[in-house]
Structure 1
């Protein structure tokens, strides 16, 4: 297996690993307010998340930033809860048309990336260039995220088509689910601070 394949696989596994379910829950909560027809906005949001994630990995691998892993592990579900609460209490249209949301998602990507940064830094070592491995890892991450988003919207499409599952029901179902999981994760991690 070549170097690109190794890091691509790591990125793909990082996002799709059910032990790190917080990334998947974040993506589903983030996408809950969008419809299938808004795939361009969702793609930009997911890419903003990947850019933030990549930035924190690069800064960590270059030893510019060092994160307190317990604090970061606590903040990751906070990002999910913030996203869920925004979805629940604000009109979907105002959320979907707010360009500030892209900056928030970029910031949340930085936080999520810091959760993996210590492992990535150790993987890189001190003598290796990070450019190619970081690029391959983030391509794998982006592909994995897009697969999750496609599965998410495929389910939405099927439920909407065959069960008349309205967009509002969908939004609240996944926002409340995201909030409950986030609260559970916050509670389980608060003792680590």
Structure 2
């Protein structure tokens, strides 16, 4: 977590923004504009399961381990909401041991509710779950900016937060699978295989993110850009929340 940053022009200058708010806006606005346009595109919000994949899942009978592993990995690699949260989680983690702990906590939470939601048939409103997933992105952006300690004088338990939000991310995927007509023949095996694929996809995506961040950290501009990146991350979470709540109230 980086030190808390005051929004006064003088403090921003000391943090690497010599032009104060104007310089900060110049750093944040291009990133924010591109991300918001991406999130507002219809393809970005169709983050469930693609039409062809849906047809395969609904027509599958019996154990189909490898195809379901592939579909699970594909979902995670293309799941922008999961990746935004994980990007925030590992943003300021420098030790592989810490990365492993946090990623494991998220994987445990994600796996438990994914399997429970599908196999037990427990239904939750998908819009509300996805709104909470958006909230997880907001939380991580705020946490990385030191906002909780600065404004409220408390620091949430980051490990517990990652585990709890992992539960909601798993339920988010479960709600997508619950929309399908799934054959009972081989269901448990296929859902387990899908979950394995999700975790493999998570490792692949995190590997790419870690490589990119490791190079980024070596640049002189990292500390300055880190503030902007987490401000964009937080804003992206608000966009996700707004979209899902709009869907909830209009559906």
Alignment TM-score > 0.5, same fold:
yes
Shift of 1:124: 4.3
Moved over 4 A (4+): none
Counterpart position of 1:188: 243
Matched, 1:9 2:70: yes
**Structure 2 residues without counterparts, runs of 5 or longer:** 1-62, 149-154
User: What CA distance in whole angstroms lies between the structure 1 residues aligned with 2:130 and 2:193?
Assistant: 24
Counterpart position of 1:29: 88
Relative distance call for 1:186 and 1:118 in structure 2 (3 A) is closer
User: What CA distance in whole angstroms lies between the structure 1 residues aligned with 2:216 and 2:126?
Assistant: 39
Shift of 1:127: 4.7
Say which structure is richer in helix.
1
Counterpart position of 1:95: none
Relative distance call for 1:174 and 1:134 in structure 2 (3 A) is farther
Counterpart position of 1:50: 107
2:145 alignment partner, SS class: helix
Relative distance call for 1:170 and 1:32 in structure 2 (3 A) is farther
In the TM superposition, 1:1-193 aligns within 5 A as 3-17=64-78, 20-35=79-94, 38-63=95-120, 65-89=122-146, 100-121=157-178, 122=180, 124-130=182-188, 132-161=189-218, 163-166=219-222, 168-169=223-224, 171-193=226-248
User: What CA distance in whole angstroms lies between the structure 1 residues aligned with 2:71 and 2:231?
Assistant: 30
User: What CA distance in whole angstroms lies between the structure 2 residues aligned with 1:123 and 1:13?
Assistant: 20
Q: Does the 8 Å CA contact 1:87/1:171 hold for their aligned counterparts? A: no
Relative distance call for 1:22 and 1:76 in structure 2 (3 A) is same
Q: Deviations over 1:41-62 (max 9, x none)?
A: 1122112212111111222122
How many residue pairs get aligned? The number is 180
Q: Does the 8 Å CA contact 1:4/1:133 hold for their aligned counterparts? A: yes
Structure showing greater relative contact order (alpha-carbon pairs closer than 8 Å, 6 or more residues apart): 1
Taking structure 2 as the reference length, what is the TM-score of the superposition?
A: 0.63
Taking structure 1 as the reference length, what is the TM-score of the superposition?
A: 0.80
Larger radius of gyration: 2
